[in-house]
Amino acid sequence: MKYLYDPPGLLKSVFSEFYWNTTNNKVLLTFDDGPNPETTEIILKRLEEENVKSLFFCVGENVKKYNSLAKQILANGHSIGNHSFNHKILNKISVDEKSFQIKETNKIVKENLGYNIKYFRPAHGRFQLSTASILKEHNLKGVMWSLLTYDYKNDLEVVKFAVKKYLRNNSIIVLHDSMKTKNIILDSINIIIDEVRNRNYQLGAADECLN
C-alpha cells in the first residue's frame, strides 16, 4: 500500500532528476491546481497564522483568471511553481503542446507577476522519460512528492491516515488548492502541521528544501 502514498524507490531512482524528497530533512508543503477563489485565501490565512511557507504549483490559466490571488501567494512569501497551462497530461499530448503547456505558464507568471518560475510539477503527476529534457530546456526543476494525501477525495480520515502513517522528516507533501478540497483543506493543513511538530520535524520553504 505504501506506493499509493509514497512512490516506489525504483521509480525515484529511474527519474532521479526529479525531487521526490527534500534535501535538508525539512518537510515541504505543496499545493496543486490553484489559484482558486474558494480556497486560496483560506489556505494563505492559515499558513500565515502558523508562519509556514509553501510551494504553490499553479495552473497558468488560473493565474491569468485570478491574478490578484497569485499576487497574494507571492506577497505572503510563498513560491509559485508551474503546473501546466490547463492541467493537460503530458504523455497524452504532442511535443509542441508539451512545450506550450510549460512555456505559456512561465510567460503568464512572468508578465503578470514579474516572477521567474523555478519548479515544475506535471498535471496528475504523469510524465515520461522525455520530460526531464523538456524541463532542462526551460530551466525548470521537476518536483514530485513522497506523501500524497488524497485530499481531493474529500475525506479527512484518508488524509489523517496518510499523514500519520507516511510522514517523514524529508517529505514533500501534496495538498490541493481546489474546489475538491474546500471542505477539508483547513483541517488537512492543521493535521499536517500538528503531526510535523509532534514529531519534532520542521517545515521548510521551497528554496531551502530543494537545493
Task: Report H helices in the chain.
Answer: 2-5, 9-14, 40-50, 60-65, 67-75, 95-113, 131-137, 156-166, 185-198, 206-209
Euclidean distance between the first and final Cα of the chain, in Å? Answer: 30
The CATH number given to 2-209 is 3.20.20.370
State the burial class of residue 95 (Cβ atoms within 10 Å of its Cβ: 0-12, 13-18, 19+).
Answer: exposed
What pLDDT shows up at residue 127?
85
Tens of pLDDT, residues 13-43: 999 999 999 999 999 999 999 999 999 999 9
Backbone angles phi, psi at 81, to 5 degrees: -115, 165
pTM: 0.96
Crossing angle for the helix pair 67-75 and 95-113, to the nearest 10 degrees: 70
Tens of pLDDT, residues 142-199: 999 999 999 999 999 999 999 999 999 999 999 999 999 999 999 999 999 999 999 9
Q: Where are the domains of the chain?
A: 2-209
Tens of pLDDT, residues 109-155: 999 999 999 999 999 898 888 888 889 999 999 999 999 999 999 99
